[in-house]
Every structure is written in structure tokens, then in C-alpha cells.
Structure 1
Amino acid sequence: MVNIKTLMIISLAVMLTGCQDMIVNPAASNLNAEDFEATWERVNTVYPYLAYKQIDWDSLYTVYKPRAEGARGDEIYTLLIELLGELKDRHVYVKTDGGEYISTYSPRRWLKDKYAYDPVVVRNYFDKELRITGEGRIEYEIIQGNIGYIHMATFDDDYLLNYFSEALEYVKNTKALILDIRHNNGGSYQNLVAVVSRFITSPLEKPEFYVLGELIPLEPFEPQGDFQYIYPVVVLINGVCYSTGDIFPEVMKQISTVTLVGDTTGGGSSGSTSSAPAEYELPSGKRIFVGTTDWRGYDGLPLEWVGCPPDIRVEQTESDIKAGIDKQLAYSIDLLKQ
């Protein structure tokens, strides 16, 4: 039988081993200065908007380098967030060891419109429950007056590729349609194509697209699907539309049957591709996300910071929503009833 003294020795050895694992060796594990250098260099090499935003990245190096050299432990996270925040780009993230993605910036229009939309208030304008598909990402129904309504909460994953046709089939005999993308933060370019292709009857040129500064030739949008929706369309937008949520209305605006209503989108046109990923591993194993691509508007200028303005601006506030009023949706309904 193992005696008490032996058990105590074994327990002490286990405790010491556990403590040894918890001890941080500053000389071996503090790579904060190296992480700073790698972050600065990554931005300097791949970020598309340093000149466009008139950011003096070299001078920022001299400001942040001493702080990085003096940073201890997790202080480097604060420094990286502040450094990358100088880019003023919501596509730029820091990923924590726990897997959390920390955005380094929120655009002014995003903050303004953050509480100026609520899907619950939208339901006040229907006399029946909205139909739902795409695992809740797409809602649709027909408003009184034979006006179709489709809300697309995201361009992520394959929801629109797989489910948009279902919603469009349901509203295909309406006299007009509202596509509501308010608060859509973007996602897959393929989803954008899946939607745009249902509203054109001939090829439509795509806006310019750059990867690491190189202009990439793109084939035009082509009509796709069982039918094309050719009746009047309103696309509802606001300042929380971002990324693909900026590009989609910019493209739809080129279609003669489409009118943009609401407020200017957030203005985020950087992104990434599989060949030029945004995710980048630092020497310590921490990860940052910095855009490598640049979508332009049809005027040839970046959508970054600028966003896509509506054809008809209808401002909406948090107070409107608290009062149960969706001015942007109400205006769109009245417009399409004419």
C-alpha cells in the first residue's frame, strides 16, 4: 500500500510540474517587439489604401516601436489594436488567443445607423408573418398592393446561392420589389453574383477589382436563373451595410429598374482572396487580418470610406425605431405604389 508520505511527494511533483507549465519565461516567450515589426511590415506590404488615406505609415512606426519594445504580456493586444486602428478600416481585425475577433474601427455612418433599423419594426408593415429561408438569413413576403419584399441579412456562406431563388420565385408575379439589405455586413462575392444576375437581361460590366495592387480582369455579370425580374426594384440601404453590402448596391444602381433608398453605406471595400488572404500569423502565433484587395465604384474610385449613396436619401433614427416607425420602408412602399 502506498503510504501517505509517498502520496504527498507525488502530489507535490505534479503541482510543481503544473506550475512549471504556467511560468512564463519572458526571454523566450515575449515576442511583442517582433509582433509589432511583423504587423507594421504586413500592412506596409499588402494594404491597398495607405496612399489613398494619406497615412504616413513610416512615422507611425517611430511612434509605436518604443511602446512595442516596452510592452509586457497582453499589453501588445492594446498596441496592435491601436496601430491597426490608424487604418480606420473595419475589415482590419486582431484575433485573441481565445479566438475572439476584435475590430479595430467602426465607421461613423455605422455608429449612426446601428440602432436605426429593427426587423421587429419591419413586421409592422405586413399583415402576415414573413416567410423565412436560408437558415433565417432570408425573409420574404408580399406587402399589400402586390409589392414583394425580400430581406437579405448577410452575403455570407452560400445562403443566397442556395436560397435566393426560392424567395424570388415567391414574389415573381409582384408589380414591384423591395430588396432590403440594411445591416448586411457583407460576405461572399459569389452571393452577390447570384442576386445581381436575376435582375439583368443583358451582360453588365463589373466594377474594377485589384489584388495586391494588380487590376484583375473580370467577366461581366450575365443573366442567370429561370427568369429575370424586370419590374421596379427598391434596394434599401443604410450605414451598417458594409463590404459586399457596399458593392452590391453600387452594382444594382447600374440597372435601370433599380432605385436605392435609405442612407449611404458604411464604406468598406478592402477584402481578400484565397491567393492573397487577409489572415496573417505573427511570430508569437497571434493573428491579424488586413485586407489585400480593393473594389472600386463604377467611377473608378475606391468605395472605401465613401460608401454607396442612395438615389433617394431617407434618414432614419433610433427614435423612429423606438416609436415603431420604419421611415425608409414606408417611403419605399409608397414610392412603388405610384
Structure 2
Amino acid sequence: MGAPAGSARVAEAVTREWTPPGPLDLRLVLGPLRRGPADPTFRALPDGSFWRATRTPAGPGTLRLTARGGRVEASAWGPGARWLLDQLPELLGEGDDPDAFRPRHRLLALARHHRPGLRLLRTGLVLESLIPSILEQKVTTDEAYRAWRLLVRTHGTPAPGPGGPAFTALQLYVMPDARSWALIPSWEWHRVGVDAKRSATVLRAVRVARRLEEAAAMALPEAAARLELVPGIGPWTSAETLQRSNGAADAVSVGDYHLPGIVGHALAGNRNADDEEMLDLLAPYAGQRHRATRLILLSGRTPPRRAPRMTPGDIARL
């Protein structure tokens, strides 16, 4: 079980500054890493700083980022601090190529014009995005966010950092390592509302964690194939993972409950589009289809709400 947040080990900071190759909006770039407003691994503060706690190949680490005068100022703590700073340009989209996107629809052109700071991040870490994506399979986001929050706070470890009341108040946690995920008892998964199918998928994934982490260095087709060798991981889950771990600009979340209708409504006025029509509409953006969907979502051009397609369940009561 994780220790109380106040017991997080105080660590010495290492720092770095980096100048991005173009406009950069930290909120847009880092936003996909946040799993709900109370995600214990991520904080966005009113002062414009972003805090991220993660488990790197070198160990736990905490990263604080701020943007000032066209530069990004970074501080990091913990065994993974150097790794986080070395990977900073990749994290913030240095390897991304926004100019490769050629909008063929006015909505996409306007969305790109109004969001010049959008770059696709690349964490280089598979498991940290794979596990919450598995938790999000076929449930509401609120249910998945709650499960992620409770599991990380209970079985993760307090994030290393500068100490002091302000840092303690953040209550940042590093997610469990593969062994700790594997040791979570079945009743604990049930208590946080995760059914046996999803928990079994997580357990199968952590057993081959090293092999899955290798996918971060693979091209999209090979990386997706590697992840989808694990029973329970399909195209939607692999895409949601590789968008974050690999910065995969072409990874489309096929099988999403809402995305086909959003894309269909935005590009063709059809809120009832299915996956096949969505892929047809995105075909002109081959190689950049994930960027196209990000821009559509950022445009605000979404269909009017109807009754929810899914209602929250509560298996913990069963």
C-alpha cells in the first residue's frame, strides 16, 4: 500500500531550459496525460506550472514545467530526474512535425490557425498510458478516472519533490511498478469498480511489461501489433496508448463511443457516423489522422448532447 503523501522523499532538483522550435502551448501538449481533474500523477496550477509524476526506466521522477519568454523551464526530482530532463524535448513534441498536416476542410484550417501551440507529445513510456487506457475500456470516463485515482493513491508511491507545504498539498503520486500492479488482490480491483475482464488485461500486460515498453521505439504498425498481442488489448486501447507514448500522429481511436459521431458531425454534418465513415472522412489525412481528430475536438464543433449512451455502473456494490 502506498505511503501517505506527506511522506514523499525530499529530493534535490536538477534543472534545464529548452527553446522549442516553434509556438508551444504546454496546456495543449500535456493535456492528454491528465486522467481526470483529480489525477494524482498530474497537476496544472494557476501559476502556469505543470507537475508530472511518473515512473521512468531510472526510477520514480517528478517534473515541473513552466513556459516563459518562448522558453520552457524544467525542474525535476528523484531517481528519474535526469531521464525526464533528457527526454524533455521529445516529451514536448520536438520530433513532431505540425507542418506535415495539410487541412482540406475549413474547420480544420481554422482550428490549426487558432491553436498554433499544439504539438503531439511523446513520453517514451508505454505502461503509464496503457494501464489507464485499459481502465477506460467500455466504461464512462468518470468511472475510469476514479479507478485510476484510487489505485495509484493506494498502491503507488508518493512522488519525490522539493518538500514543503506547497508541494505536499499537491498530493502527487507515482504509479505502481509492474510487480505492484501484479500483486493487487482481486477484491481491491472490485472495490474500485474494475471488472474482472479489465483487471485481467492489466495483469497480463504487466507480466510482459518489458516487452511492451519496447514498443515506444517502434513504428506505429509494429508498436500496435506488439501491444495487441496481449489478449484484451485491441485497436482502441493500443491507439490511445501510442498517441501518448510514441507521439503517433496517425493513431486513430477506432472503436470509441463518441469519436465517429464527432468527426462525422464536424466534417460531413453526420452525427451518426460509424467507424467506417470516420475513417473515410479522415483518409485525406493519412499519416496525420490523430492530429486531425485532436483539432476537431479542439474546434468545439461537436454535436449537441443527447441522452448518454452509457450509464455508470457500480460493481463494488455487487
Shorter-chain TM-score bucket reads under 0.3
Question: Computing the radius of gyration over CA atoms, which structure comes out larger, 1 or 2?
Answer: 1
**TM-score, normalized by length of structure 2?**
0.26
Higher RCO structure, 1 or 2 (CA under 8 Å, sep 6+): 2
Greater per-residue strand proportion: 1
**TM-score, normalized by length of structure 1?**
0.25
